[in-house]
Amino acid sequence: MVRLNILKLAALASVIIVPLQAQAMKCPTAIRGQLDSVGEGRRAWLEFNCAGCHGNTAGGGMGPNIVGAESGDIQEAVLQGDAREGGMPSFKGCATTTDVKNIGAYLHSIGKQNEPTWLDWWNLNP
């Protein structure tokens, strides 16, 4: 009887937990293409919650400082992630190559006059 109840709980947990895990990596849906590449990079940076690990201006936090990171490194990190170390998730299927290029443009703008600092990425023109 106890074993049957454990099996029922396990089955129920798989029905509940698997969809929650699938929803954990929802792809963003913000409006794109209204800003220059640096602005769209800032939008993607905030929308994909890069700031959650790398800090609002990419100076580091749980994740490393990536200000001025090389485009190849950005593409690899965003599209492949680094799950083997429990680090950055992959955004493959969510982030486009344009998003990756725009994030690179934003990272190269940090500390310069053209760096956007707005936070309201969901607005057409933040």
- H, E, C per residue of 75-100: HHHHHHCCHHHCCCCCCECCECHHHH
Instruction: Assign residue 70 the CATH number of its domain.
Output: 1.10.760.10
| Confidence label for 73 from pLDDT (cuts 50, 70 and 90) | very high
pLDDT above 60: residue 121: yes
* Residue position matching structure tokens 């994740």: 63
CA dihedral 37, 126, 51, 64 (to 10 degrees): 40
| Confidence label for 126 from pLDDT (cuts 50, 70 and 90) | confident
Domain range for 88? 27-109
pLDDT above 80: residue 85: no
**Residue 9, domain member (yes or no):** no
Q: How far lies 26's CA from each of 9, 23, 76, in Å?
A: 27, 6, 20
| Average pLDDT value for the chain | 80
Q: Tell me the pLDDT tens digit for each residue of 21-64.
A: 334 456 766 567 789 999 999 999 999 999 999 998 999 999 99
Contact (CB, 8 A) for 73 and 58: no
